[in-house]
Amino acid sequence: VEAEAPSLTLDELLANLDSATDAAGTLLLLDGVTDPRNLGACLRVADGAGVTAVIAPKDHACGLTEVAMQTASGAAESIPYLMVTNLARTIDTLQEHGFDVVGTADESTDDLYSLRLTGRVAWVLGAEGKGLRRLTRERCDRLVRVPMAGQVERLNVSVAAGVALYET
């Protein structure tokens, strides 16, 4: 038996959230994550943290490949992965639906542990090295960093997603 990934559009996702009795929701947006293993690990951690859906742009992102699905260890079949035409416009739409959009950026002076998050939250994480693209970064309500105590400058995107999502 082959499982199928859940298929959902952004409009359907928002309609489902708007009609739910529990109006909260947590989303994970990935900007420029092109490695299928990173995508699979992000799906896995998103599923474990109770995220409603993972969203990425159609361009500059990895599709749901066999490698991504294997790395996700079943999460690709349980959590919707939406690919949108324009991530910046999607952020605008999420904000119109009451989401607090928080991006991660190494240069931010605020760390994620200082946040007080309530209600709907959409985390936006960029690819390793490049981080968030300019338009994506500008659309976020705020930017935070994951504090690093060691010698390395940043975490793998899936590890950073785990830290941010579980802190939420």
Lookup: tokens for 168: 């939420």
d(CA 32, CA 117): 25
Looking at residue 16, the DSSP 8-state letter turns out to be H
d(CA 119, CA 157): 24
Residue 161, C-beta contacts closer than 8 angstroms, at least 6 positions apart: 28, 42, 45, 46, 123, 125
131 DSSP 8-state letter? B
Per-residue confidence at 1, pLDDT binned at 50, 70, 90? very low
pLDDT in tens, 82-131: 999 999 999 999 999 999 999 999 889 999 998 888 889 999 999 877 88
pTM: 0.92
List the beta bridge partners of residue 111.
145
Q: Report pLDDT digits (tens) over 64-74.
A: 989 999 998 88
